[in-house]
Amino acid sequence: MNTHHEKPSMSPLASTISFVPPLSFKHRSFLCFLSTQALGAFNDNVFKQLVLLLGVGYLIAGVEFQAIVQFLFAITFLLFSGLAGDLADRYSKGRLMTLCKVAEIFIATAGVSIFVIASDSSSNSNEAPLYLWMLAIIIFALGTQSAFFGPPKYGGLPELVRGEDLAPATGLTQMTTFLSIILGVAVAGLLADLFADKLYAAGLVTVTIAILGTITSLGIARQPPADPKRKVSLRSFVSVVPTLMYILRDDPLMFRIMLIYSWFWFVGGVALTAINVVGRLQLGLNNFETSMMVSITSIGIAVGSVIAGKLSQGKVRLGLILPGLVVLIVCLIAFFVVPLHSPTADDLKLLNQIKNASAEAQNGTQIIPLASTPIYATVGTLLFCLGTASGFFSVPLLTFIQARPLDKDKGKVFAAVNWLNWVFIVASALFYGIGINLADNKANQLLGFLGILTFLVGIVMVPRIFTLLRQVKPEFVFLNPPN
């Protein structure tokens, strides 16, 4: 790993495999990479959002169902990221991505069979029915597949593009990821409304997307393994721990960058789940309209990511995180003052009674008072600005993390990064589960409190990062904001 006291002769952004072509829309391997990861993000969000929307208002052992789903999806990354990282260095990353996509087909097919049960079920209770428990298990399997896909995805990107193209390539990857989230979440809401009484039809969409993603993965270049002698054993499951300890000891700058980048995922884990509650229980929206609220946030992230990539000018411009962080905090805290409906226990019971009714029956029943247009527009504006700020905040951090390690260490470093990210996402699920209960399902209050926490994290972390940057002075970093 390239530690802070080393002075390489060439910046990590400039070091690359000599035969990698320039970043271009004629670059077949890179286009296949973009398509594969975009289809994967799309499919993950279609399936997960379908399950989350079905579970709004339900409890498992007294815990909000959405929190359980987010926890099960996230915990897989803690369990398997170490093994996934060693495999990503030991074998061709392109080949591993294809294997992950094949697994996705089988997982989506299993989900279809459970949606058949869901279509014939209803509940008058707040306790989650059996089919939701079964769907939660499928979410765990989907998370496992994603955990193995992450290290070859992020560790493989520097193998596919030139060093000077890494920042814009990262921006494009981030943009397509969140555009896929936009479409996935929106399509999930539409499918949930159109096929409320035959959800297996919605499940078949996820199988089709998994097949398409497998096909596009076949076009990703099969670069040789970065470290073919890497040993893969039971120790691989905990291999991220010594990697993280090594980074903490020898590269405190990298470790702090990883920590604050993981906070971005904590914020996202809480916010994107809370938005479902804001839409369904506080704005009076249907599934599709609620999903569009999530999509607005993702559009903002995509816009912010592309702009941040353009402003980077071939290097990492960490100064962008400052305006991004300020706007992020302001938007979250603003939710405190938005006047939204306070849902009651009776509201939840009534919603659960019609959850699997036909679309016509659902549209004819308005349980939650519909918010006024100015309030709806205010919430939408806040979510878009929140997403844009998140893109500014995350792209420079992610590009730094991609550029810092040596080529032979990228797989295990990204396994460690993934693992740390998902520690924060697991924490976000726990935070959401406890917080939404304490807030009596007033998700806007939870978002406001999240803004206060983000302010405190920024005060503690950001000044130290820039102090270390001025000491280390990495060649591939611009410290100043763009002119």
pLDDT tens digit sequence for 305-317: 888 877 776 667 7
**CA torsion, ordered 373, 378, 380, 384, to nearest 10 deg:** 160
Burial (CB count <10 Å: 0-12, 13-18, 19+), residue 204: middle
Q: How does residue 15 score in pLDDT terms, banded at 50, 70 and 90?
A: very low
* Statement: residue 379 has pLDDT above 90: yes
Residue 6 lies in a domain: no
Residue 460 lies in a domain: yes
Residue 230 lies in a domain: no
* Statement: residue 8 has pLDDT above 50: no
The answer to whether the beta carbons of residues 118 and 130 sit under 8 Å apart is: no
Q: Is 27 left (phi over 0), alpha (psi -120 to 50) or beta?
A: beta
pLDDT value of residue 22: 53
Between 480 and 442, where is the model more confident? 442
Average pLDDT rounded to a whole number, residues 108-118: 86
pLDDT digits (tens, 9 = 90+) for 174-229: 778 877 877 888 888 888 888 777 778 888 999 999 999 999 999 888 877 777 77
Between 365 and 436, where is the model more confident? 436
> Given the structure tokens 């996934």, which residue do they identify?
84
Query: By residue range, what is the domain housing residue 47?
Result: 28-222+240-478
pLDDT digits (tens, 9 = 90+) for 395-424: 888 888 877 777 667 767 877 887 888 889
Residues 6+ apart with CB under 8 A from 42: 180, 181, 183, 184, 187, 209
pLDDT value of residue 459: 93
Residue 317 has φ and ψ, to the nearest 5°, of -110, 85
Is the pTM for the entire model greater than 0.75?
Answer: no
Closest C-alpha among 222, 223, 170, 194 to residue 414:
170
Going by DSSP bridges, is the β-strand pair 477-478/316-317 parallel, antiparallel, or unpaired? parallel
Residues 6+ apart with CB under 8 A from 344: none
Q: What CATH code is carried by the domain that includes residue 371?
A: 1.20.1250.20
**Lowest-pLDDT range, 42-56, 168-182, 447-461?**
168-182
Structure tokens at 426: 């697991």
pLDDT value of residue 18: 39
Residue 59 has φ and ψ, to the nearest 5°, of -125, 150
Q: How does residue 19 score in pLDDT terms, banded at 50, 70 and 90?
A: very low
**Domain count along the chain:** 1
Residue 262 lies in a domain: yes
Average pLDDT rounded to a whole number, residues 162-178: 75
The answer to whether the beta carbons of residues 71 and 430 sit under 8 Å apart is: yes
Residue 19 lies in a domain: no
Residue 170 lies in a domain: yes
Most confident of 70-84, 92-106, 164-178, 357-371: 92-106
pLDDT digits (tens, 9 = 90+) for 119-154: 555 555 677 677 888 888 999 999 999 889 988 887
Q: What is the mean pLDDT of the chain?
A: 80
> Given the structure tokens 């939408």, which residue do they identify?
380
Residue 86 lies in a domain: yes
**Lowest-pLDDT range, 83-87, 172-176, 291-295, 348-352?**
348-352
Between 369 and 12, where is the model more confident? 369
pLDDT value of residue 62: 73
Between 357 and 155, where is the model more confident? 155
Average pLDDT rounded to a whole number, residues 228-241: 74
Q: How does residue 448 score in pLDDT terms, banded at 50, 70 and 90?
A: very high
Average pLDDT rounded to a whole number, residues 345-372: 64
Residue 381 lies in a domain: yes
Between 359 and 109, where is the model more confident? 109
Most confident of 167-176, 225-234, 307-316, 383-392: 383-392
Between 250 and 475, where is the model more confident? 250
